[in-house]
Structure 1
């Protein structure tokens, strides 16, 4: 068995603006840097408990994108490990949507936006990864890490989309459809790779961020509901 402590990167300006970041290299904003420092404090507090349990992290691995590296650096200072970069832990590539907010996409790429709102795991806009290809990349990366560091306790700093794939895989959920789990910036998620699969032990722990302002939330479910409401209204008006 290999234990993973999976951490989403801290907040960026584009998170706050609800822009698609994807694989563009966006740095942490002021809040994200504060979240990373809170994470460092949480790691210091947890280290004594881990030592008593014999679960001291042996590796620190991060997505190679800047926002993940900046989040991982304070953790590295606590654990005393050099951060290993792994491109397999990058966020999903969103192609032409990257750097854009949903109103901009609706105005400039209306047909692509409607296709994206179908949340079909095998469809992708121009230049993007399909959700299925993204999922396969994420799970293959974690499997490789689990095999390489078998029996160890590994800290991984990554992205919201990666964690969504972990949640779906562990819960045997469809890859189609909007995200259904909470994934806070700088939140902690404990999973184990055991018997060839992922098993969730702790999810979306953000106690160390409790007194900070509310995080921006891009609700895929809400977008889908709005689309369905508009479609129903159009149908009623058409019948009338």
Structure 2
């Protein structure tokens, strides 16, 4: 995107972060994490709506890069987007949702009975949630930061990342280069199937959260986590 400001021509780099739409673990009431659930029929329809919304925002002849979590619910959405935008997704396991260890694929009630919430004060990013094999928020954050960092090192005007709701906080925080240690209380919400638009100009190099969790392209209803 090109803007003209006070006689100056300013190029704007845009990163679109997409949360995958409804998958089977949403409707079955199961813990997601690394549990490899596919999209539902409604989720696949929403993926087509996401693709159309991105097509409307990105010029036809623009060069686009597309990255995705390698879990099938994200990959399926990325393939739908990529087909419309004529680009193949690059799969990156670092863009996965937070791992919930032994809870993955089990009923949400199983997790609720065992989950140890973080303290109101004190160490929160390295807090042990009480579920064997689960990632701490610090480990989760570091891998998402690493993935977004590598993506941003590529010189492209338009980039798309398809990931998961839990990863949005760290994708946005990485974009603004907030230190991981500062994120103990920070959480950004983006519903399934949403688009978060992040922009950087090439004059001031300011990084803007232009839109967080936009779902206007979706119909009513949908998943909630």
Q: Normalization by structure 2: what TM-score? A: 0.78
Q: State the shift of 1:196 in Å.
A: 9.3
Q: Please give the alpha-carbon distance, in whole angstroms, between the structure 2 residues aligned to 1:84 and 1:156.
A: 9
Query: Of 38, 45, 48, which residue of structure 2 is paired with 1:37?
Result: 48
| Counterpart for residue 166 of structure 1 | 171
- RMSD over aligned CA atoms reads 2.8
SS at match of 1:19: coil
Greater share of helix residues, 1 or 2? 1
Q: Deviations over 1:135-180 (max 9, x none)?
A: 1111111111111x1243211111111112224454959433474x
Q: Please give the alpha-carbon distance, in whole angstroms, between the structure 2 residues aligned to 1:42 and 1:121.
A: 35
Query: Of 52, 76, 97, which residue of structure 1 is paired with 2:82?
Result: 76
Query: Of 36, 43, 57, which residue of structure 2 is paired with 1:25?
Result: 36
Query: Of 203, 215, 221, which residue of structure 2 is paired with 1:206?
Result: 215
Structure label with greater radius of gyration: 1
Q: Please give the alpha-carbon distance, in whole angstroms, between the structure 2 residues aligned to 1:26 and 1:82.
A: 21
Aligned pairs for 1:7-22 (under 5 A) are 7-22=18-33
Q: Deviations over 1:101-145 (max 9, x none)?
A: 3322344x3xxx1x2354821023311111011111111111111
| Counterpart for residue 116 of structure 1 | 117
SS at match of 1:10: coil
SS at match of 1:116: coil
Greater share of strand residues, 1 or 2? 2
Q: Verify the 8 A CA contact 1:118 1:177 in the aligned structure 2.
A: no
SS at match of 1:45: helix
Aligned pairs for 1:184-223 (under 5 A) are 184-192=191-199, 199-209=208-218, 211-213=219-221, 215-218=222-225
Q: Deviations over 1:74-98 (max 9, x none)?
A: 2111111111111111111111221
Q: Structure 1: which 5+ runs fail to align? A: 219-240
Q: Normalization by structure 1: what TM-score? A: 0.74
Q: Verify the 8 A CA contact 1:57 1:79 in the aligned structure 2.
A: no
SS at match of 2:191: coil
Aligned pairs for 1:46-65 (under 5 A) are 46-47=57-58, 50-51=59-60, 56-65=62-71
Aligned residues: 204
